Each structure stands twice: as C-alpha cells, then as structure tokens.
Amino acid sequence: MGAYRIEQITLLDPIRRQRMQTDISMEDGRIRGLGAPPSAGEQVIDGRGLYATCGWIDAHVHTYPHPKTLGVDPMSMLKDGVTAVVDAGTAGPGNFQDFYQNWLQKSPLRQKAYLNLAYMGISEGTVELQDLSTVSLEACRETAAAYPEVILGFKLRIDPRVCHEPEKALALARKLGDETGKPFVVHASRSTLPIDTILSYMRTGDIYAHTFAQKTPGILDESGHLKPAVLEARARGVRFDLSHGNGNFSFSVAERALAQGFLPDAISSDIHVRSKERVGSLALVMSKLMACGADLWTVLELVTGKAAAMLNLPEDCTVGVGHEANLTLFELHEGAYSFTDSDGMPKMGACLIAPKGAVLGEQVYL
C-alpha cells in the first residue's frame, strides 16, 4: 500500500479550464488530498515545473500482440502519460478471448476494445474483409455480449486492399449496430467510396477514424471546404476521431478543418508496432494539433473529457479527493519546434507537450 505526495505541481482541469498550484497526496490508490498536510511515511515527488491532469485517454491504439498483429506494449504508453486506451479492432470474434484472457485482463492500464467484424481481426495482414462470407454477425453479437464491460462496439476497415465490397461491409456494420445498440468505427482511408455514402451508414455515436487524412475519401472538397455530408454527420452525432497512425494525419487538412471550426471529437495516436516510430506519442500528436491552431485547453480536453464522451465512458475526468488516483504528468515547453505530419510535411509549432509519466491506482510510472 503506497502513499505518495507530488509537491508544488500545477494541476490543470481541462473541463472546467481551471489551474491550481498544489500538492497532490495519494494513498492506497486514491487521492487523499489536494493541498492537504503531509502524512508520515509518504514518498515525496518533486512536482516543480510539472503539470498534471486526470489521466489521458488514447481512443485508438493497437495493443493485441498476436504474432502477426500490430500490438504495442501498453507499459510504454503509461510512461508517455496515457492511462486508458482503446484497442481499435485488432481482434475479432475468433481471437478476442485470447486477447482478453492473456492481455487485456493483465494490462497495467485501463483498456477497452472495439471488436473487428472480421473473424480473426487484423491478425492476417491487410486482407481481413476480402471475403465477406466469413463475417459472422452472430459471432460478433455473442462476443460483444460476453464482454460487455470491455467491448465498446465494432470496427471495420473498408480500405480497398482490405475489403472489395465496402458498401456491403458497411451494411453489415449498420445491421450489427442496430441489433446491438453499440457504435462502430470505420477506417475509410484510401476508400474509393464517396464520403457521403460512407457517412450515410453512420448514426449517432458511430466513429469516423483518421479524420484528417489527406487520402481519399477526405473530409474537404477541392476548394478546401468541409464537405456538407461531414457537417450533416456531425450534426446528427457521428463522431470524428483523429487517429494519426502511419499515414493518416495531414497538417494541411487539419489546419483547414480547424480554421472552419471543425475540431476532432478526440485526439488519438493509432500507435501500433509499425507506426510507433512515426507517431511517437499521444503528446506529440497533441502538440501537432496545437501547431494547426488548437489551444492547450482544447487538446487537453480532447484526450480527457471529450475522449470519454466520444467513447461513452463513465469517467468524470476530474482529479478530486476520494477519486481513484489517475494522473498524467507532463512538461510544457515553449519555443520553435519542427513537427512532421504523416505525409512527411513539416510544420513549425510554438508548444511542445512532453510527457513525464502517469499515476494509476497504486502505481507511479515515471
């Protein structure tokens, strides 16, 4: 049973947009006090120069390390300040039990998942929905019902390399969504279907991933304006997730969208084995969105309260006495920083968010 005290840290509440300089005391995995007197035997951490918020949520990652899949070690994410992640459909009904028993249950951080419509998820490379006759909606429904605390919804990729009949796949996802009441996430990058068609299958709570990708189908028209179908979809509650990944974040798309008042519903990294080097960390993606015009409060909200809302999680995302200890620790650096988007384009930014670790329950990850 550990007792910790982080002294003289700047605690930010992105939802109320409040900041306070305080000492955070934690005992037995809970917040004992903010600015409370020290207690005997607690381990003191010097928080000068550090910032804290409630723990960051990365709404799109891959953590299932099946030999052929892409999962990264979640421990590295804790050190990068992320305390909750959502695996975006790495496993399907045929291997979800393995993912759950051998990985999710043993995870050091909070994990949820989307279940891939494809029976074995993305464990076979980029082919999972080429033969739609192998998709079993019954198996998807049964698996989702067996893990109601973990499976938030469903995932499908309609990239032409992955799926040859994208509309048929979307119709299956729609049917599954209607039958279960759970949302689905669409990876549409490289799809040749118009975005209007893709979004027409999506309802409130469904998530359009890789929002700022330069690739087709794209959220912007040829003159750089948001397509009407995108605005209509947002108005009816379809969510738009950043999910950076290897090739799905363009500065020019993000900057134009932000200038038109179109923020994503969450910032997520889409970190997996093959994208880790390019993406770096969730904090780096946040810094890049700041370079495109978002302010600090906004990016912090997009990885806390807004991400929880997009995912329909019951988190209140505040640091309060009696709450479970769930903190992200980071530094803020001001200067001139050169960032690169996933198309290799450079951009200068004035703020770098540098993660320094996390506290989750009784563990401190520095």
Total number of residues that touch Zn ion (CB under 5 A):
2
DSSP-assigned beta bridge partners for residue 207: 185, 239
Q: How far is the CB of 194 from Zn ion (least distance, A)?
A: 22
Q: How far is the CB of 60 from Zn ion (least distance, A)?
A: 6
Q: How far is the CB of 79 from Zn ion (least distance, A)?
A: 21
- Residue 77's closest CA among 103, 100, 56, 102? 56
Residue 311 backbone dihedrals phi, psi, to 5 degrees: -90, -5
Number of Cβ atoms within 10 Å of the Cβ of 163:
25
> Are residues 303 and 320 in contact, defined by beta-carbon separation less than 8 angstroms?
no
Closer residue to Zn ion in complex, CB, 219/319: 219
Closer residue to Zn ion in complex, CB, 12/118: 118
- Residue 184's closest CA among 172, 166, 192, 167? 172
Closer residue to Zn ion in complex, CB, 265/270: 270
Closer residue to Zn ion in complex, CB, 88/198: 88
Q: How far is the CB of 185 from Zn ion (least distance, A)?
A: 9
Structure tokens at 261: 């008042």
Q: Which residues between 318 and 337 bind Zn ion (CB under 5 A)?
A: none
Structure tokens at 147: 């893990």
Q: How far is the CB of 329 from Zn ion (least distance, A)?
A: 26
Q: If you search the block for the tokens 């329909």, which residue do you land on? A: 312
Q: How far is the CB of 70 from Zn ion (least distance, A)?
A: 8
Q: How far is the CB of 88 from Zn ion (least distance, A)?
A: 4
Q: What is the rounded CA–CA span in Å between residue 187 and residue 200?
A: 15
Q: Which residues between 248 and 307 bind Zn ion (CB under 5 A)?
A: 270
Q: How far is the CB of 188 from Zn ion (least distance, A)?
A: 12
Number of Cβ atoms within 10 Å of the Cβ of 66:
19
Closer residue to Zn ion in complex, CB, 143/243: 243
Closer residue to Zn ion in complex, CB, 45/88: 88
Closer residue to Zn ion in complex, CB, 116/143: 116
> Are residues 168 and 131 in contact, defined by beta-carbon separation less than 8 angstroms?
no
Q: What is the rounded CA–CA span in Å between residue 340 and residue 258?
A: 18
Closer residue to Zn ion in complex, CB, 23/270: 270
Closer residue to Zn ion in complex, CB, 70/319: 70
Q: What is the rounded CA–CA span in Å between residue 136 and residue 187?
A: 19
> What ranges make up the beta strands (E) of 224-325?
239-240
- Residue 157's closest CA among 101, 98, 213, 110? 213
Q: Which residues between 57 and 116 bind Zn ion (CB under 5 A)?
A: 88
Structure tokens at 108: 């050091």
Q: Which residues between 345 and 364 bind Zn ion (CB under 5 A)?
A: none
Q: Pick left, alpha or beta for residue 20 (phi over 0 → left; psi -120 to 50 → alpha; otherwise beta).
A: beta
Q: How far is the CB of 115 from Zn ion (least distance, A)?
A: 14
Please state, in angstroms and as integers, the Cα–Cα distance from residue 358 to each residue in 6, 83, 326, 330, 366, following that order: 12, 7, 7, 9, 7
Residues that bind Zn ion (CB under 5 A): 88, 270
